[in-house]
Structure formats: structure tokens, C-alpha cells
Amino acid sequence: MQARMKQKGLSWTQFAPGSLCAVAVAAAAVIAPAAPATAQAWEPTKPVQFIIPAGTGGGADQMARFIQGVVAKNNLMKQPLITLNKGGGAGAEGFLEIKKSAGDPHHIIITLSNLFTTPYATGVPFSWKDMTPVAMLALDQFILWVPSDTPYKVAKEYIDAVKAADDKSFKMGGTGSKQEDQIITVALEKLTAPKKFTYVPYGGGGTVATQLVGKHVNSTVNNPIEAVSQWKAGALKPLCVFDAKRSVYTQKVTADMAWSDIPTCKESGVDTEYQMLRGIFMAPGVKPEHVAFYVDLFKKVMATDDWKTFMEQGAFNQTFMSGDQFNTWVAAADKLHYDLMKEAGFLAAGK
């Protein structure tokens, strides 16, 4: 249908050989050699509900629907994977559903930062501890975007412009309120102090990018995948990426720039870092073999060429984790969000 982008990502051998079950796996894609067949004692006995704690069209939704497509296309599961949007209450609807279905191995959920922010901001009673962590699929980047016909060349110039202007005259568009985009905005305001942004919350990442193209806001911190199309079309330009190091993707996205050409915010004089978890969780109280099945399933998904292309398109930071390593990471991320939100005054009463 179209020329796929060539893949130049990370080496995938680092994701240790997962054991293969007897399920017929479409030949091409699979990595691991057959390991001891004993590990795959369990597999789903009915359709698996793949819950998306966000609305349609956003980053989590795109990834989940993409995974569903890959699983179906490569016959990675005997039972179908059914995606279900439960984005009500900033995702609380989806997370409460998982919390409620304790012990049920036929529910999985994809997470975004609202796993941490929603309970702190709204006081809805759930946390990541009410779920079983399965695996981290990737970390999503945040990039500071401005319309391409603005004069700013580096992030520092933009920050200085905000500093020089009237208080609140610069508008930052973002997804939702008291969530990741606003947390980053608050972090940026440390640098623009005493001037602040006017943060304008919108429904979804795609809308935010479009609002920036239409110049209804001055800047956004869209995820790469939400804004890449507008970047290619020459409507938006990236100033810096909120990560410790530059992206590894060197394939040109526009005529003269690749993801790897976007400087980190730190090197352009703006010391702020933030990344968003794209991970999978299950209901509480499931057995280790249930978790093992899904860890293995996602390893297979990640081994496909489709997944690699998807990762590059969205300039994802490819980091895979499961087990204790993932648990430790999630606990640390939870603490980080608590601290950031406390500092910004976003915590609900009693939190």
C-alpha cells in the first residue's frame, strides 16, 4: 500500500528470548527460539478486553488499536483482543473497571500518565497498586512545538520571549487539566518566572496540535505522533524534546530534519525532563502465569516490523521492562508525579 519507512531502531535482541507457545505465529516476525515449553501453561479462554482509559484518537488509543491490529494480523492469540474506550473521569472509568475485576485475567489496560495524575487530582480511589503491572511497552516523548513561521529557533529564545511579554499573554495548549501537559507547563514556568503561561485545556492531542496550527495557542507540548504530520507539512516546528538525550531515529522526517536533530531541552537551555509511560496493567490478584502470558504476547508484538515502524513514526523511546524492574520504575514514577503535582498545587483535598 505504501513504502514503509526503513527501520533503524534499537536492537531487539536485548529482549531476552521469550518462550513460544504452540500457537501458530505468522512466520516472519518472531524473534525468540523455542524455549522450554512449560512456561505457557495458561492462555485466554475467552475474548480479552483491552481497555483504553482515554477517548478515541489520542496517543493511547492509537497505540492500543495498533496493537489490536498487529495481534490479529499475526495470529498472536487464539482469542480476539477487543479494544474498549473507557475514558470517563480522566480515565478513572477504565482504571476502576480493572480494579473491580480482581482476579480476572481477561482484562488488560493500557496506561498513560493519568494512571498517576487522575487519582491525585480527583481523589477517585485507585492507584497503580490496585493493579498488576505487566510490562512497559515504550516511553512517549514530549516536544515543545511552535508554529513554523514564528521567529524562535531554539527553546531558550521562546522562553525569553514569554519572559519579556505581559504576564499570561502566551497561551500553552494541552490535553486535559492537571495532567501531564499542564505539569510540563508548570515546570516551564519556573524558567519564565515571574511570568506565567495561560494554559488552555483541550479534549485530545490531535485537537491540540490543530489548534496550534490555527494559532489559537502559542505553543504546545504534543507527543511526537500527534504533531508529526503537521511538522512534515511545514506548519509546525519542534524546539526541543523533554528527554535526557536526543532521539535515536536518524531517518529524515522532513526535508532536512530527523527526530535525532531535535535538541534536548537541556541543551537548549531549558532544564526540564518528562516522559510518559505506555505500559500494560492487569486486574489485581491474577496469577503469575497470567502475567507471563501477556508479557510474552507483548514481546511478540514488539518483535514485528509493524511495531518497529510505529515506534519510529512516533519517535518513541523504546524501553521494555517487566517484572520487578517495572514495579520499581512505576513506584518511582508515582512518587515523581506526586511531588510534581504537590508543587503545582494540583492535589485533590486530602491527598
> What is the contact surface with another protein in residues (CB under 8 A)?
1-2, 4-5, 56-57, 61-62, 65-66, 68-70, 73, 83-86, 88-90, 92-93, 96, 121-125, 168, 171, 176-179, 198-204, 206-207, 209-211, 213-214, 216-217, 226, 228-230, 232-233, 235, 306, 309-310, 313, 346, 348
- Nearer to another protein (CB atom), residue 73 or residue 153: 73
Helix 323-344 vs helix 180-192: crossing angle, to nearest 10: 50
| Minimum gap (Å) between residue 162 Cβ and another protein | 15
Residue 269: which of 147, 144, 182, 142 has the closest Cα?
144
- Nearer to another protein (CB atom), residue 292 or residue 308: 308
**Which whole-number Å values give the CA distances from 186 to 77, 122, 196, 223, in the listed order?**
43, 18, 8, 17
Residue 91: which of 106, 107, 108, 110 has the closest Cα?
110
Q: Are 45 and 105 in contact (CB under 8 A)?
A: no
Within the chain, strands assigned E span: 48-52, 81-85, 107-110, 132-140, 143-147, 171-175, 198-202, 219-220, 236-241, 276-282, 321-322
**Which whole-number Å values give the CA distances from 275 to 25, 183, 267, in the listed order?**
33, 11, 17
| Minimum gap (Å) between residue 291 Cβ and another protein | 24
> Any idea what the Cα angle at residue 51 is, between residues 67 and 175, rounded to 5°?
90
| 105 phi and psi angles, rounded to 5 deg | -80, 5
Amino acid identity of residue 292, one-letter, is A
- Nearer to another protein (CB atom), residue 43 or residue 93: 93
| Minimum gap (Å) between residue 276 Cβ and another protein | 17
- Nearer to another protein (CB atom), residue 92 or residue 297: 92
| Minimum gap (Å) between residue 342 Cβ and another protein | 15
- Nearer to another protein (CB atom), residue 17 or residue 125: 125
d(CA 242, CA 155): 11
- Nearer to another protein (CB atom), residue 228 or residue 280: 228
| Minimum gap (Å) between residue 268 Cβ and another protein | 26
- Nearer to another protein (CB atom), residue 7 or residue 260: 7
Residue 108: which of 52, 68, 63 has the closest Cα?
52
Q: Are 290 and 282 in contact (CB under 8 A)?
A: yes
| Minimum gap (Å) between residue 85 Cβ and another protein | 8
- Nearer to another protein (CB atom), residue 96 or residue 265: 96
Residue 100's contacts (CB-CB under 8 Å, 6 or more residues apart) are none
| Minimum gap (Å) between residue 41 Cβ and another protein | 29
| Minimum gap (Å) between residue 154 Cβ and another protein | 25
In 214-322, alpha helices (H): 224-232, 288-302, 305-313
> Any idea what the Cα angle at residue 252 is, between residues 71 and 249, rounded to 5°?
55
- Nearer to another protein (CB atom), residue 223 or residue 268: 223
**Which whole-number Å values give the CA distances from 268 to 144, 153, 176, 244, 264, in the listed order?**
11, 10, 27, 12, 7
| Minimum gap (Å) between residue 283 Cβ and another protein | 15
